[in-house]
């Protein structure tokens, strides 16, 4: 059984993702970093490793996540 995934995400501006997509995707895939993308002071997207995404999908199917779909809710 896989452990619960708890990481402090790094907030990045959308312009940084636009300018350095390869570097940021490497941080996610190799280091396991979680990124929150902000645009105009709004958090618009999250980039996480595929293994973490698969864990969250499985956990949701097992009723582990709350109905609000917010992590930590």
Closest CA to 12 of 29, 2, 24, 30: 24
Strand partners, 38: 13, 43
Which top CATH class is 10-61?
alpha beta
Q: Domain ranges for the chain, please list them.
A: 10-61
Using CB atoms within 10 Å of the CB of residue 56, give its burial: 0 to 12 exposed, 13 to 18 middle, 19+ buried: middle
Residue-wise pLDDT tens digits, 4-40: 466 799 999 999 999 999 999 999 999 999 999 999 9
Overall pTM surpassing 0.85 (yes/no): no
66: tokens are: 């709350």
61: tokens are: 């199917």
Strand partners, 35: 10, 47
63/38 Cα distance (integer angstroms): 29
């Amino acid at each position: 059984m896989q452990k619960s995934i708890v990481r402090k995400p790094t907030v990045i501006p959308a312009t940084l993702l636009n300018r350095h997509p390869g570097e940021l995707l490497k941080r996610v895939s190799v280091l396991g970093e979680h990124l929150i993308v902000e645009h105009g002071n709004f958090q618009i997207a999250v980039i996480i490793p595929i293994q973490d995404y698969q864990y969250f999908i499985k956990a949701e199917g097992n009723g582990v996540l709350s109905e609000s779909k917010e992590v930590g809710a």
